[in-house]
Amino acid sequence: MRAIVFNTPGNYAVVERSPIPPGYGDVMVRVEAAGLCGTDFRINKGTSPAKFPVVLGHEFAGVIDEIGPGVKNFVVGDRVSVDPNIVDCAECAACRRGQPHLCDNLIALGVDIDGGFAQYCRVPSRQIYKLPGQMDIEEGAMVEPVSCCLHGLDLLDLRAGERVVIIGGGFIGLVLLQLCLEAGASRVILSDPSPVKRAVALELGAVEAVEPERLHSLTKAEFTDGADVVVEAVGRTETVEQALKLPRKGGRILIFGVAPKGAPVNFSPYDIFSRELSIIGSFINPFTFSRSIEIIASGRLKLKQLVTHRLSLDEIAAGLNPAPDMIKGMVLPQRAASERRR
Which amino acid belongs to residue 117?
Answer: F
Query: Applying CB under 5 A, does 89 fall inside the site for Zn ion?
Result: yes
Query: Applying CB under 5 A, does 92 fall inside the site for Zn ion?
Result: yes
Shortest Cβ 98–Zn ion spacing (Å): 11
Tell me which stretch binds Zn ion (CB under 5 A): 95-103, 108-116, 165-173, 270-278.
Answer: 95-103
Tell me which stretch binds Zn ion (CB under 5 A): 103-111, 149-157, 206-214, 259-267.
Answer: 103-111
Q: What are the angstrom distances between the C-alpha of 285 and each of 150, 155, 230, 274?
A: 8, 11, 20, 32
Hey, how many other C-beta atoms are within 10 angstroms of the C-beta on 79? 18
Following CA atoms 197, 202, 205, 208 in sequence, which dihedral angle do they give, to the nearest 10 degrees? 110
Shortest Cβ 101–Zn ion spacing (Å): 10
For residues 320 and 150, give the distance between their C-alpha atoms in angstroms, rounded to a whole number: 26
Instruction: Please count the residues of this chain forming the interface with Zn ion, following the rule CB under 5 A.
Output: 4
Shortest Cβ 87–Zn ion spacing (Å): 6
Query: Applying CB under 5 A, does 155 fall inside the site for Zn ion?
Result: no
| Single residue of 14, 27, 28, 95 touching Zn ion by CB under 5 A | 95
Query: Applying CB under 5 A, does 86 fall inside the site for Zn ion?
Result: no
Query: Applying CB under 5 A, does 108 fall inside the site for Zn ion?
Result: no
Compare residues 94 and 272 and give the one whose CB is closer to Zn ion. 94
Query: Applying CB under 5 A, does 218 fall inside the site for Zn ion?
Result: no
Hey, how many other C-beta atoms are within 10 angstroms of the C-beta on 41? 17
Shortest Cβ 88–Zn ion spacing (Å): 8
Q: Which residues are CB-neighbours of 67 under 8 A, at least 6 positions away?
A: 22, 27, 28, 74, 75, 76
Indicate the DSSP class of residue 113.
B
Shortest Cβ 49–Zn ion spacing (Å): 18
For residues 102 and 106, give the distance between their C-alpha atoms in angstroms, rounded to a whole number: 7
| Single residue of 103, 111, 255, 303 touching Zn ion by CB under 5 A | 103
Shortest Cβ 85–Zn ion spacing (Å): 12
Shortest Cβ 91–Zn ion spacing (Å): 6
What is the C-alpha radius of gyration for the chain, rounded to an integer number of angstroms? Answer: 20
Q: Angle of helix 171-182 relative to helix 143-156, nearest 10 degrees?
A: 50
Compare residues 103 and 166 and give the one whose CB is closer to Zn ion. 103
Q: Which residues bind Zn ion (CB under 5 A)?
A: 89, 92, 95, 103
